[in-house]
A and B are shown apart, each in its own frame.
Chain A
Amino acid sequence: MPFDQETVAELQNRSRQIRRDILEMVHAIQSGHPGGSLSIVEILLVLYRKKMRIDPQDPHSQDRDRFVLSKGHCAPALYAVLADMGYFPKEALKESFRRINGMLQGHPDMNKTPGIDMTTGSLGIGLSVGCGMAFGARILGKDFRVYVLTGDGELNEGQVWEAAKTAAHHRLDNLTVIVDANGYQNDGPTRVEMNMEPLAEKWRAFGWDVQEVDGHSIEQLSSAFDQVPAPSGRPTAIICRTVKCKGVSFMEEDKVKYHGTPPDGEQLSQALSELGC
């Protein structure tokens, strides 16, 4: 069902808060990956707040929907959303992220952080794990859904395409891959470093049902998730066109730098004032 205006406004407000949390988190420890975290905020909020069947009080329920952040370096966004959902206290964001013996590792760790469904960090592995979860639902006769979020740079990894062929061949229609197509990878623009376009045609050729949306549009994201599972019986790929560093002007102007560079104190103030929170 399409979101009403109230829901859209609520999620847009939350997205500003989540962006603030991300920036404060990486600023506090002076490390982490703000750019790709800022590009996935709306995707995570729509999934966690509105689409996934989950209960923060019961994070290990066998029937819950699963989420795998295959681009694990964007953990700050996921941590901020999980804290916002009540999986753990919000204070942990600044007190624990990337700190020794902390519960919030530099990359997601399922054994240390409530709400993390799979440990990730080494790129390209998450979609295979999602396939396994989707197979698991089929074997166990459960109807949970599996969502895997990858980067567009991550699509360079051959294993992503191994998993793409498996999901299509076995018609894992309870599996959705979300591609955060922000157009940048560590070394530079994806079109320069390693061009993977046309993305939709690649996924379609592998046998997936494909949608392409504005990854910052809450309405478009909602509508895309509502079409899963596809009537075709195929797995679904949602290609989200996003802006790396979304929401902070000086970061958007230097996307390569802010892939893995945190803002200093002055920059943080400017960023927060731009976000209006």
Chain B
Amino acid sequence: MESCRTWYGKALLELARRDPTIVALDADLSKSTMSTYIEQEFPERFIEVGIAEQDMIGIAAGLALTGLRPFANSFAVFITGRAYDQVRQAIAYPNLNVKLVGSSAGLSDFGDGATHQSIEDVSLMRGLPNMTVIVPADHIQTRAATLYLGTHTGPAYLRISRTETEAIFPDDYVFRLGKVDRLVGGSDVAIVASGTITATALDASRRLASIGISASVVCVSTLKPLDAEDLIDALEETRNVITLEEHSVYGGLGSIVAESLGSRGGYRVHMMGVKDRFGQSAESFTDLLDCYGLTADDVVEAACQMIGKQP
């Protein structure tokens, strides 16, 4: 198991070694977001703004205006929520080259509870014109997406989980903006997942195979701009679609897939995610996912219901 945020922090450091215009900001969470790596090696290119996310976003905008490439770090809930107006007014609207990195995203900060968990961040960010939204599924994709953002131009939001992951992608995986990754083929039902919960989709697919149900798994890491044609191609084998995300079903992956498929007709979409509830504290991440109906068992049950088979 590898830590996504550590892989992010090391990838950012790698970018900083290559490119002297890479700078990082943090709002007193550098040892959680892992911007601490760049802080230690390049203190002159790290700006500690204190516990002041709104200020941090404005500063990041100012840095971008001088030609630098700032990565602003905080918890997902704060960088997208606390500083939403600053992101809208000072980053997205002027279309500035700032990367927003939201750490401890989704329910992954299980102990801290609802105040620190982000179930609406993707929805908030993708509603902003000019904003790119990327949600990696494992540490490999986290690194690949971070390296990609080192040369990307314009505003982007990168959602980083606090959890550890088994590798889904090969070591040499290269991130392709807008493209989906077909992980498993299958003809009865398609599980479309984003983020670290993609591992749960793979687990569910294996369990479904053992009971004779063929379930494909499609990983969507670019939530905006998503190449809808690429998604449609990945769904060529079946029109029964389950979306799975560690985010509210309002405005996240489920909405995006439904928007992409809606005008084409003929698809059934069942959305799995957090159903209009806030998070809460729990003893473990697994317990929390179980409580919100986001386990492999839940996916198996949904798939069986969708195609009218007994689990």
Contact = CB atoms under 8 A, between A and B. Distances in A.
B62 A129 contact: yes
Quick one: which of B58, B60, B94, B95 has the most chain A CB within 10 A?
B58
Contact of A140 (B52, B62, B67, B95): B67
B145 to A, nearest CB: 24
Interface string B118-134: 00000000000000000
A248 interface: no
A122 interface: yes
Quick one: which of A62, A129, A137, A163 has the most chain B CB within 10 A?
A129
B130 to A, nearest CB: 10
Contacts of A117: 65
B85 interface: yes
Interface stretch (B43-51, B157-165, B170-178): B43-51
Nearest to B60: A132
Contacts of A122: 85-86, 88-89
A166 B52 contact: yes
A139 B62 contact: no
Given A122-B89, A131-B62, A133-B62, A163 B68 contact: no
B62 A134 contact: yes
B23 interface: yes
Give the interface size bracket for A toward B. 35 or more
A66 interface: yes
A125 B89 contact: yes
Nearest to A138: B44
Nearest to B23: A139
B58 A132 contact: yes
A111 interface: yes
Contacts of A125: 54, 58, 85-86, 89-90
Contacts of A140: 66-68
A129 B67 contact: no
A110 B54 CA distance: 20
Contact of A131 (B55, B70, B95): B55
Interface of A: 62, 66, 109-111, 117-122, 125-137, 139-140, 142, 146, 158-159, 162-163, 165-166, 169-170
14 contacts: A62-B66, A125-B86, A127-B58, A129-B65, A132-B60, A132-B63, A132-B66, A133-B65, A135-B62, A136-B63, A136-B66, A136-B68, A159-B55, A169-B50
